[in-house]
Amino acid sequence: VIAQTKITLNSDLAKTQINKHIYGHFAEHLGRCIYGGIYVGEGNTKIPNTAGVRNDVIQALKDLKIPNLRWPGGCFADTYQWKDGIGPKDKRPKMVNVWWGGVTEDNSFGTHDFLDLCERIGAEPYLAGNVGSGTVKDLVDWVSYVNHPGGSPMAELRKQNGREKPWNVQLWGVGNEAWGCGGNMTAEYYANIYRQYATFMADWNNTGKLYRIASGASDGDYQWTETLMKNIPHNMLSGVALHHYSVISWTDKGPSVNFNEQEYFKIMDEAWKMEEFVTRHSTIMDKYDPEKKVALIVDEWGGWYSVEPGTNPGFLYQQNTMRDAMIAGLTLNIFNNHADRVRGANLAQIVNVLQSVILTNEEKMLLTPTYHVMKMYNVHQDALLVPISIESPSYEFQGKKLTAVSASASKNAAGAMTISLTNIDYSKPHEITINLRGDEFSKVSGQILASAKINDFNSFEQPNKITVKEFAGAKLDKGVLKLTIPAYSVITLTLKK
Ligand code: AHR
């Protein structure tokens, strides 16, 4: 018997905008994310590039329409001396990347390289400031260097380094994981430090207001969020972060490809926990900020497994299968449905690290199943969330249950509606009936991401094994939509008048 899922979409009740920044990404100086993955340098390489950044990666990121890119960390951010990454490259001081493999960082990819890359791919930069080991002055100088129009020492230094106009960076992280690699601080201590840093991070008149984001809780650390919301004046707090990774256990993370059903189920369970974390952190925020002025920014999320055999354990390089596509589809549905409070998120990380959308091997590049899901969902960026109710049977394993089908929907300015569906069931297809309330449509088209096996992936030998295909299996009749979604697949449907 095919499982039955019932969905009702209330198109007439759509009022909340899905902030495009939910679809953000994250690039850290970690393993082969920046060096090799994004940046190959201008000389001495056969890989086609623009100012040292791979052309194939630039094109893939443009196609993905990424709204923002967070940099330079992560844990690395709280060790980063931005002044070492400007000026002539051969004169830049080196440092040791203490968090990630102890490798030498030559600072050849710095502020100009990153901000110019963001301009090229049309993404807003999200700079993570060094609070853990830096000073207030360092961070204030960084803001001034990238944002001040002219006449200040930092603006003049920027001009000397070849950039006349400021970049006007709005998104700023005030430290990262302050409870851990960012300084092992208590929430009370960090709240005070935040107030100090935020006071001096100036808003220049011509750039609008800086969007300052506090380093947030890990998983279910509600006390952290409560302390920040209580102790930081909200006029200096645009967002509070949250980090949650889908990991089996920190001591034994399991393989990224040859996993069994138990490992699959555990990762899906972890992915579903995002719903609980976002709901409960939001409830705490509601208590101190009922008007929802402060955003919840999930600026690190994704699947985390053991590294690929034979690769540096400090580089966090892992393959990306249909299981990762499930994490992505499910998590994006959760974020969309919480659009009133979740107004930003960053998948960790963009190239060659953790749940990447792109993998590279020397001159070769491939797009992962996660890339395809992020692309299928990008139509929701800045569209109006359509409230949804859903009854879906469980995916069961050894007596434990998880909701099998998740969904979210939005309508755009032209009146078209997009519904995104993810079925995490390990073996069963689900028949879905969607009742379209409050609007009438006459045409439906669709796309599907599916593959024969749950642990299928795109390899450098077969980079297009998993790609998006047309889905013509949805039937629309008198305001009711019917389709069958295969096990472990993602479908998006577009409805037009
Ligand atoms: O994304 C990898 C690491 O995970 C980040 O550097 C850190 O913020 C988190 O612990």
Q: Is pLDDT of 206 > 90?
A: no
411 and 345 within one domain:
no
Distance 16 CA to ligand 1 centre (A): 31
Q: Tell the residue number behind the tokens 């629309």, with chain if given.
A: 476
* From 300, 396, 431, 440, active-site residue: 300
225 and 276 within one domain:
yes
For 66-126, the DSSP string reads --EEEES-SGGGGG--GGGGSS-GGGPPPEEETTTTTEEE---S-HHHHHHHHHHHT-EEE
Which domain CATH number covers 404? Answer: 2.60.40.1180
458 and 360 within one domain:
no
With beta carbons less than 8 A apart as the criterion, state whether 375 and 472 touch.
no
Q: Is 270 a catalytic residue?
A: no
Residue nearest (by alpha carbon) to ligand 1 atom 3: 74
Average pLDDT of the residues in 161-165: 97
233 and 257 within one domain:
yes
Mutate to test the pocket of ligand 1, among 25, 76, 181 (most ligand atoms within 8 A of CB): 181
Atom of ligand 1 nearest to the CA of 316: 2
**Would you state the pLDDT for residue 163?**
98
397 and 307 within one domain:
no
* Cα(109)–Cα(126) distance, integer angstroms: 16
Give the end of a domain, one of 347, 381, 415: 381
Query: pLDDT band at residue 147, thresholds of 50, 70 and 90?
Result: very high
405 and 347 within one domain:
no
* From 105, 124, 177, 275, active-site residue: 177
Query: pLDDT band at residue 84, thresholds of 50, 70 and 90?
Result: very high
Task: For the chain, give the mean pLDDT.
Answer: 96
Average pLDDT of the residues in 432-446: 95
As for how many domains the chain has, the answer is: 2
244 and 115 within one domain:
yes
**Would you state the pLDDT for residue 202?**
76
Give the end of a domain, one of 381, 402, 423: 381
Give the end of a domain, one of 381, 416, 431: 381
Distance 333 CA to ligand 1 centre (A): 23
426 and 319 within one domain:
no
**Would you state the pLDDT for residue 3?**
84
Q: Which class for 358: exposed (0-12), middle (13-18), buried (19 or more C-beta within 10 A)? A: buried
Average pLDDT of the residues in 425-434: 96
Query: pLDDT band at residue 2, thresholds of 50, 70 and 90?
Result: confident
Query: pLDDT band at residue 133, thresholds of 50, 70 and 90?
Result: very high
Ligand 1 surroundings by CB, under 6 angstroms:
28, 73-75, 176-177, 300, 348-349, 354
Q: Tell the residue number behind the tokens 């008007």, with chain if given.
A: 291
Q: Is pLDDT of 1 > 90?
A: no
289 and 140 within one domain:
yes
Altogether, the residues listed in the chain come to a count of 497
**Residue range 207-266, pLDDT digits in tens:** 558 999 999 999 999 999 999 999 999 999 999 999 999 999 999 999 999 999 999 999
Q: Is pLDDT of 113 > 90?
A: yes
* Cα(196)–Cα(176) distance, integer angstroms: 16
Q: Tell the residue number behind the tokens 């107030």, with chain if given.
A: 195
Q: What residues form DSSP beta bridges with 492? A: 420, 447
Which domain CATH number covers 111? Answer: 3.20.20.80
Residue nearest (by alpha carbon) to ligand 1 atom 8: 74
* Structural domain boundaries, residue 232: 19-381
Residue nearest (by alpha carbon) to ligand 1 atom 9: 74
For the whole model, what pTM was predicted?
0.97
Residue nearest (by alpha carbon) to ligand 1 atom 6: 74
Distance 74 CA to ligand 1 centre (A): 5
Q: Is 300 a catalytic residue?
A: yes
With beta carbons less than 8 A apart as the criterion, state whether 350 and 357 touch.
yes
Per-residue CA distances from 81 to 49, 129, 244, 248, 372 (Å)? 26, 10, 27, 34, 35
194 and 267 within one domain:
yes
Residue nearest (by alpha carbon) to ligand 1 atom 4: 74
162 and 84 within one domain:
yes
306 and 421 within one domain:
no
**Would you state the pLDDT for residue 43?**
85
**Residue range 480-493, pLDDT digits in tens:** 999 999 999 999 99
